[in-house]
Structure 1
Amino acid sequence: MNLEKIKFSLALFVGRLVYLFMKILGLDATTFPGKVVLKIDPQFLIKIKNRFKKIILVTGTNGKTTTNNLIFQIITKSGYKALGNLEGANLRTGIATAFIRNPSYYDFGVFEVDEGIFPFVYKDLKPHYVVITNFFRDQLDRYGEIDTTVEKIKGAIKDSKEHILILNADDPFVSRFSDLPNRKIYYGIGNKVRKKDTEEIKESIYCPKCGKILKYEFFNYAQLGRYFCECGFKNPDYDYYILSAEYKENYWLIHIKDGDEDVFLNFRYPGVYNLYNVISAYSVGRVLGIDKEILKNIISNFSFRLGRLEKFNLEGYERILVLVKNPAGYNQVLDTIKDDPNEKVLLLILNDNVADGRDVSWIWDVDFEKIKDDNISTVICSGTRAEDLLVRLKYAEIPLNKIILENNLNTAILKILTFKAKTYILPTYTALFKSRKLIMKRLRNGT
């Protein structure tokens, strides 16, 4: 056995021990075992790529985790053996940990990848398919401006013609990948879905070809919509798209155009952003040759937890946990809350740890004015930057008698769960899993 095989075997053995030990202690084991493994063998990801017949990478700013889980369920429920980093641990350490947990040989590897480290993962895993969801401002202290992120990803994949790109045609940033020589599959939403006109931040306002301001027939959220420029730049033609969608009785009723055929399905999670997750995953399924009826049934019965509109029932009231991490996604969640006619209370949690982004100035681009409604009785602000949230809400003209400041997350969770009302809990990334753990503990104990 040569040295590289010895390093791999040692890394895998130690990583398995660390993973099992952490699980016994009840610790979060989604990234640290992978960190240990990559310390022992920095080429660990390169060495596992041959354990997969096909590899799919999902990257972009919003929707990666839900899209990744949708694709994973589509593949596994179609009879294939697959491995994925389904908890959202999307750095190299998270992908390594996913393999450590279940080392084997697979038909598919389905991995969500942080857009900032995508070039490195791409180089290691040499994927067969790359899904790109969208690009928004997110953690500027880590990524820089969006153009920088887009160009780094393009630079990483431009020299390979082998993989297939599955691209969101409704995002002008993603459309910039159209000049690559790869086979490309485009998805999108063909009409305006949300009838209420709301002000949104359009990240991409200039044409990437000529530099003039883009024009829009409509947008569904942020810069995603039907755009065009007098120089000829516009949405690429769709391969698969949503013709119409209506949210009714807690379900999206979705009409998909698949060539000349019509596909009708349901999806249980609200928010226009989830429509994009659905059509991106549907497109991947079709590219893989999965039958339309099978896709329809899998997507309609899709179930996903881990803080993406995850619902808990406590004392007869829904408690809904929703990850928020950038202005575009946050505004979509606030739209969902605003459209909910029930009496409700909110817990907003803002942390500034490394994984959240140290710079929290992005909250000033969130339209908190949307939650001035009378049917929101209380808003609790918590997290390491709770005071910043309170100041932002004050400028949004939310009455101060509705706002409670509670820096301690444990206390804030316990307090919000005492309200006899529908509850929305909106944490940033590093508060998500702790919040979920506290809610689950409260459910188990009943106190």
Structure 2
Amino acid sequence: MKTRVAIIGGGPGGTTAAMYLLRQGLTPVIIEKESFPRYRIGESMTGECGAILRDLNLGMDMIENKHPVKHGVKVYGKHPWFLPVMARTPEGKLMDQTTWQVRRSDFDKMMLDEAVKRGAILVHGQATDPILDENGKVTGVQVRLADGSGMMQIESELLMDFSGGATFLATKGVTGPKYLGNYDRQIAIFSQIENGIRDNGEARDEQNGNTLIFYKQKYHWAWWIPIDDKVTSVGVVTPAAYFMEQNETKEEFLKRELHNIHPELTSRIPDVTLVEDTRVIKNYSYQVKQFCGEGYMAFGDAHRFVDPIFSFGMYVTMKEAQLAAPYVVKYLNGELPKEGNPFEEYQVMVEKAIDVLEDALDGFWEHPFAFAMLVYNRYVDQMIDIFAGRIYENQPSEAVVAFRKLLKRERTYDSDIYSVPIGSRYHADRAPIWVDDTSDAEVMTKLLNL
């Protein structure tokens, strides 16, 4: 089979890419190894993720499918705080907006069905190896067909990798190196419940479809994400060593932790009755360098993952897919640079955006008190923008600069090591994140003159 664009992965990122490319007159081939619907975690959308769905004319589908409406994220630690979902008007003013929570099995199937309905070609099979020419350029992919009939060779002008944590192109050695990060010793243990007590107030921070996060201590927290009118996704993220020390089964550990992490969570689950298998995944951060090049691009988790706490995963892969579409068209038309990486401009833009997320998340973990002060006292609007997903333009904001001061971190983008800051966990030497010996309040006062 020959195609101009082949897409590995039929999840939200791959299908978003397909639909935007179809708008440009291209007919992409989607390669998906699994049969849908299938179970996936990562059920919460940022505000800008909802905006992508509306732009794809899928807003009414989301409403008709009765996905829970999300007004924001409420974080319970020593002092609770709420970050609302808000959009920007054409004049740049903030306005109330909503997004959605989803049961991924239903949502992903809807997206794949819609992409095929609009004209994408679906191949059921598993990508096994990239096809390279004599100069090492990617020219397609080998696929083992799901029906057992053998192998298919798909020749492409561009191979788009939406394989998620499998990092297909990086694993096959097509990209640059992959660096592990500081979050590589955590695990997430999760399931679903039906008997959770949800908020039911009139204020935005009391809406029953909101994401709730319960913070116990550094790298130890729980999530609460409603995925339909009855079922709630719940999970605990903790250092792997802590889980091993408890000598419990996954289910025993999850049930106990849900009652012990935070009193506010305990009160919402008087009887922990799980209605889904208890699952465990490694929660680790990584970064793939040179994730774009002649004949290939990698997206979302296929090239970088930071931390799941504020649910950026699905958004990042969908937004990168949206932003890539015009670059793909220019590449296929021969309008991008012939020397070096034709997607260099796109790649740097993406790295800068994820750097913003990384700096905000590192600030949350390393300086939680200072983080809360930034959210509520200093840079409220800018923090709303970051957590909505407006990280690809008008950055770094003053809030991000403040985080970099707190982390004693500098970033430059004038060489091949861009996106590798001083003290970066992605540096080959694995330099640790800098943490001052003084308290958060003292650091904040010193650096920001609060």
Same fold by TM-score, threshold 0.5 exceeded? no
Q: Higher relative CO (CA 8 A, sep ≥ 6), structure 1 or 2? A: 2
More helix by share: 1
